[in-house]
Structure 1
């Protein structure tokens, strides 16, 4: 029935062009009246009009102190008539529904544009479970509280003693105020403003420290350097991260969370994956790991959010951690819907709290995280037990690993050579699009590349090249004549083999195998486009067999590929013959 009420009211909003939050405020008035004075409505046998409603609100002094007098919002308990909306129709609709339906309508965030500022319910439920009893009898803070979905559920579960939230968006702020008004609002403190100024100053002036801090801050928020948060030095605390202007904004939010966290508290941030592995934040990750600030990193299933399919993670923070628990919940899906997935919270909690390590949960020492150069993506540490590599050796022990030339389109345009007769520094730049089925096709574009750049990024006979940004990693062995000048582009990673240790064709055969592709996939990072980094590839395990055995396997691989290519050509010829069976009907020839 709650859905029926939602769509009935949606029709009224569309018909009158009314702001959703203004309608919800009017519905909230009605809900409070009906729950506070049930006897009034018990035997109501006449039309419930807007005039009667307003009179009751004023007579009973409904304490709607939440109503802000800004940006078009107003306390319209004082307005007997509202010319923009047929209130009588609204109240007659509400009278037909029970209180449960009305409450569900008031807390529903799937209506209008609210879902952009709403944390999915399954993430809310998981986070509340992770807080456990940590926050009991202490205050709880939600930075970037959005529509209040987390605070509302936390309050319903009696997680904390008091509930604080701050949100800058006016519509989301109103939604959160409405939710928190449904129950006793005396223990709730919601603020509208910038989390880096208003709320930071407020809490530090009053010396509030929180037993729990939650934040689902905006993903990938880009702020100009001159606009990046500059924390007031007089409120600086020992918990602050050493933020530099080059660091992503994610860690500005995380630093603020830690700043407001009690020494025995717990903080949970919902974030996209870039800040867990990118190079510009490595110093911050190192600081957090070295100082024991990270309790666990939890990878969530994709498509939990209505508006994005990027991978998301929970960073669980506390103080004094000696290890980090890495958890992969990417397969913990309770239900797949058309646009979103729903997390299986019960299965997730069971996996997170497991006493025994498995393919999806592992407790990792801080030293091992250091060895991974502070990459905090869970899959970098998990699933390794699935394959035991015979005579496994890190790739960096048998290869020099480097990426190709990162050059902009504008720079390429400047170096483009129109006259192919030029001889001075003429070079071909190999893109990953030139690599197909293990063969490097020479493109016709020529560029002028000086000797210094050529020496750094040139391709040599026997190099193995792999793609850095693709779900299936493509590879090929470089075969080059003496007079060719080829360099690798930035989309290519070059593996320059130590030839007395590993055969290039054997290496390419292994990388192209299902096992090799699986191991490469475990080294990939990235939210939307899988990405391989040099540091991750260096740690790829390769089965280091005897050179004679390598050459034998490489020869078998090449022989079978040649047979496959022969059959592909034969199949293509047959398909062409089938396609041409009816050519005679248009060219006038007859097969009769």
Structure 2
């Protein structure tokens, strides 16, 4: 790998300063030491003969932002001052030090262990700026600005844009202030809670990449004016399960008329039940323009799947884009090439195999799920389709037991009581060799299988499907990873439904209803909505008979394979006469 002169210089400065990084734990000390050295050199002092008083006179200058003055003079062991003076006495130029302060991010440096991520990954910054398409004179707000890398990129791309940032981390805000001071113009950075007295309806462009995993009850200043309606559930959006939607709402509310915002959210926020009301609020109130499913592993600190939301006034359909196929894959982390960024922007602007418009009614019919993949691909052409929920007498989730509970309940004795697990379903059939149980609680009777019950796995993919055939005198309990579906056999044949779900059309129907990307999950509400074809009874019967015949063939072949394996294992002994 070849490096530019700037990159080489950054690497050398980082190595010279690696000894001070552990004192911070946040990854900003190297940048700030370089900034202090830059100030000292710019002051015209003798680079090789700067004493403590001269150092304090520069870094304690009243014209310096108070957050920086406080950081520089609070140096109990003198290591920070020592690092700054070491850089002063080196051969690095002010241009090299300035470049290091602006562009070096320790959380993107593979030579250092991972700290808290203070910087939005470079590929996401590039993509967000391409989507926002900022112009000179516009007001750009980076809520949760971290160390200011996004704003640096924005200013270097559009020098006359007006920028504003805020972050709750003092270390991050400190570096952001230093960086903005090296760029032309007044570029305010605030240290504090982004929800404290936000300037709503102000900005032309907004970017927000909030901390992942935040929950409203645990957020700082939950009584702040902006947060209060969500905490108290008095806002029409309700109280989302994840804070992603509150941050997204802040981004939208911060926009001036006609503005555009980009928000980064985790995939869980796109489909979980606790956030459905928030998603509905955004869709039905015309606040969402596009959803872009991003490749995984773009963040160093998490493997969670993420999406990019394009927010702004939109009275039409929502653009659903799947960009998960565009990763520039690395050994540990992925990236996005310039070509990939251009492709994503193109997909946002026009339809295609990985991009389409979804009407509000379509989104509503899918429980306001915003997983882009559910809206892409050709929908199966089904005969007389009906929701699965309309074809059932009951749908139950299996009984959940901990590993310890199962250890106490299982036995080698044939008790006639059995337990079916996900691993016991293979090739459309339930194994005959199920674990025995010592006893069953009558409260679990609803999870006992009956002949003809359809069993489907809760997690995929691929999803496992089987029709129960319970011999007389046996009781089989389904575990918590399975759904037990009692179909109305006057409407549909269970084996016909199983045959459909095993088909390509059925698999696509299931895939369009899942939530989650790392571990695809099929919530009960989505299971009920899966469209099942209901052709005439004779068509169902033929399909069911053909499906059962194929299952019988598979069973016979498995027996033959088992016998062949046993014969192969005994071939040597047979040949030598043992």
Contact 2:496 2:541 (C-alpha < 8 Å) held by counterparts: yes
SS of equivalent to 1:187:
coil
- What residue in structure 1 maps to residue 284 of structure 2? 290
SS of equivalent to 2:298:
coil
- How far 1:366 sits from its partner (Å)? 1.8
Distance 1:500 1:288 in 2: 41
- What residue in structure 2 maps to residue 513 of structure 1? 503
Distance 1:478 1:566 in 2: 19
Distance 2:194 2:271 in 1: 25
Deviates further, 49-58 or 324-333: 49-58
User: Aligned to 1:353, which of 327, 337, 349?
Assistant: 349
Distance 1:210 1:479 in 2: 63
Distance 2:31 2:358 in 1: 48
SS of equivalent to 1:51:
coil
SS of equivalent to 2:152:
helix
- What residue in structure 2 maps to residue 12 of structure 1? 16
CA distance 1:572–1:491, shift in 2 (3 Å): same
- How far 1:146 sits from its partner (Å)? 1.5
User: Aligned to 1:242, which of 222, 232, 236?
Assistant: 236
- What residue in structure 2 maps to residue 567 of structure 1? 557
Contact 2:215 2:241 (C-alpha < 8 Å) held by counterparts: no
Q: Any residues of structure 2 matched to 1:14-33 within 5 Å, and which? A: 14-15=18-19, 19=24, 21-31=28-38
Deviates further, 221-230 or 511-520: 221-230
Deviates further, 222-231 or 504-513: 222-231
Distance 2:13 2:23 in 1: 11
User: Aligned to 1:522, which of 507, 512, 517?
Assistant: 512
SS of equivalent to 1:462:
coil
Distance 1:577 1:255 in 2: 67
Distance 1:413 1:557 in 2: 34
SS of equivalent to 1:85:
helix
Distance 1:495 1:252 in 2: 37
RMSD: 4.2
- How far 1:291 sits from its partner (Å)? 1.7
Contact 2:56 2:73 (C-alpha < 8 Å) held by counterparts: no
CA distance 1:244–1:429, shift in 2 (3 Å): farther
Distance 2:344 2:441 in 1: 53
Unaligned runs of 5+ residues in structure 2 are none
Distance 2:505 2:194 in 1: 47
- How far 1:275 sits from its partner (Å)? 1.8
1:318 aligns with 2:312: yes
CA distance 1:314–1:188, shift in 2 (3 Å): same
Deviations 1:399-447 (A, max 9, x none): 456341465649968996999999xxx9755432332333324331255
- How far 1:49 sits from its partner (Å)? 1.9
Deviations 1:102-161 (A, max 9, x none): 61564122134467222122221222222235x763432222111222222222222874
CA distance 1:217–1:408, shift in 2 (3 Å): farther
Contact 1:147 1:172 (C-alpha < 8 Å) held by counterparts: yes
Distance 2:550 2:414 in 1: 40
- How far 1:507 sits from its partner (Å)? 2.1
SS of equivalent to 1:124:
helix
Distance 1:496 1:382 in 2: 31
- What residue in structure 2 maps to residue 44 of structure 1? none
CA distance 1:390–1:358, shift in 2 (3 Å): farther
Contact 1:225 1:245 (C-alpha < 8 Å) held by counterparts: no
- How far 1:233 sits from its partner (Å)? 7.4
- What residue in structure 1 maps to residue 436 of structure 2? 444
| TM-score scaled by length of structure 1 | 0.80
Distance 2:363 2:203 in 1: 29
Distance 2:118 2:254 in 1: 22
Distance 2:255 2:8 in 1: 42
Contact 1:326 1:381 (C-alpha < 8 Å) held by counterparts: yes
Distance 1:419 1:569 in 2: 24
Contact 1:115 1:306 (C-alpha < 8 Å) held by counterparts: no
Aligned residues: 557
CA distance 1:401–1:381, shift in 2 (3 Å): farther
CA distance 1:415–1:226, shift in 2 (3 Å): farther
Distance 1:279 1:61 in 2: 52
Deviates further, 441-450 or 305-314: 441-450
User: Aligned to 2:464, which of 471, 474, 484?
Assistant: 474
Distance 1:88 1:283 in 2: 56
Contact 1:154 1:160 (C-alpha < 8 Å) held by counterparts: no
Distance 1:9 1:243 in 2: 48
- How far 1:258 sits from its partner (Å)? 3.4
SS of equivalent to 1:433:
helix
Contact 2:35 2:97 (C-alpha < 8 Å) held by counterparts: no
CA distance 1:580–1:222, shift in 2 (3 Å): farther
SS of equivalent to 1:363:
strand
1:194 aligns with 2:193: yes
Distance 1:85 1:99 in 2: 21
SS of equivalent to 1:116:
coil
CA distance 1:23–1:129, shift in 2 (3 Å): closer
CA distance 1:300–1:378, shift in 2 (3 Å): same
1:383 aligns with 2:377: yes
Contact 2:317 2:359 (C-alpha < 8 Å) held by counterparts: yes
Q: Any residues of structure 2 matched to 1:527-566 within 5 Å, and which? A: 527-566=517-556
Distance 1:114 1:63 in 2: 32
- What residue in structure 1 maps to residue 71 of structure 2? 73
Distance 2:408 2:31 in 1: 61
- What residue in structure 2 maps to residue 127 of structure 1? 128
Distance 2:65 2:490 in 1: 75
